[in-house]
Amino acid sequence: MISFDSTGEHRLIYKSETFVEGLTVTAYIWSPALVKSDLQEFTEISDGLYYLDYNFSDSGTYAGMFYESGVKKSAGAIRVQPAGAAAEADAIASALLAATGVTEGGVWTLAKVLKIMNAFSVMKMQLKSGTTATYEILDPDDGTTVIAELTTNDNGDPPTIVIKI
């Protein structure tokens, strides 16, 4: 079984039977939810080796059926499971994103999550210029960089928090 320790794009390498060159190597890949992909075509490297860059968007076990010039040749399992600190960061990031009103526009890393948690615990903030209901949460390290904005609501809804880093 092939294993990857994070979701996202990863390269699959395929060795053709008896290292045959010049084949059309293709595959179907089933997601952990058993959704079948479109037919994927590998690119030949040389000496009977082929590769495919594939986006594994979910954690879990994928299945693949591999073909050489239209003939089934092998099947395999691909495990995508964040491990260690990556899994912890994913869990923390998921929890933060699941909280009502939290939005952001980049990739969550453990460092980013810890910086945001530290900023909220220190809660150094200022009223955003030109507003009466939006506060800028400042980076606790430099005291000036805006890393998040918190907008209060008069209608009783929870505040909106927009992550800026």
Per-residue pLDDT reduced to its tens digit, 12-52: 999 998 899 999 999 999 999 999 999 999 999 999 999 99
- What span, in angstroms and rounded, lies between the C-alpha atoms of 162 and 122? 17
> Residue 11 pLDDT > 70, yes or no?
yes
Do 12 and 48 belong together in one domain?
yes
Query: Same structural domain for residues 76 and 6?
Result: yes
For residues 133 and 144, the answer to whether their CB atoms sit within 8 Å is no
Q: Are both 70 and 23 inside the same structural domain?
A: yes
Neighbours of 165 (CB within 10 A): 16
CATH number of the domain to which 50 belongs: 2.60.40.10
Average pLDDT over residues 81-86: 64
Q: What is the pLDDT of residue 69?
A: 96
User: Same domain, yes or no, for 35 and 12?
Assistant: yes
CB-based burial label for 73 (10 Å; 0-12, 13-18, 19+): middle
* pLDDT tens string 67-83: 999 999 999 999 998 76
Give which of 36, 38, 64, 61 is closest to 50, Cα–Cα: 64
Asked which of 80, 100, 132 is the last residue of a domain, the reply is 80
What's 10-45 look like in SS3?
Answer: EEEEEECHHHCCCCCEEEEEECCCCCECCCEECEEE
The residues pairing with 36 across neighbouring beta strands, listed in sequence order, are: 30
Backbone phi, then psi, for 100, in 5-degree steps? -60, 130
Same domain flag for 33 and 100: no
Q: Give residue 100's pLDDT.
A: 38
Overall number of domains in the chain? 2
Measured between alpha carbons, how far is 124 from 111 in angstroms, rounded to an integer? Answer: 19
Residue 101's pLDDT is 47
Structure tokens of 154?
A: 């008069």
Write the CB contacts of 100 (distance below 8 Å, at least 6 apart in sequence): 158
User: Domain of 100?
Assistant: 84-163
Q: What is the pLDDT of residues 92-140, one digit of tens each?
A: 666 665 653 455 556 666 677 677 777 767 777 788 888 878 888 888 7
pLDDT greater at residue 88 or residue 74: 74
In this structure, the answer to whether residues 76 and 90 fall within a common structural domain is no
Q: Which two tokens stand for residue 164?
A: 């800026």
Domain end marker among 47, 80, 113 = 80
Same domain? 106 vs 131: yes
Picking from 43, 60, 80, the residue at the C-terminal end of a domain is: 80
Q: Do 112 and 55 share a structural domain?
A: no
On whether both 117 and 158 belong to a single domain, the answer is yes
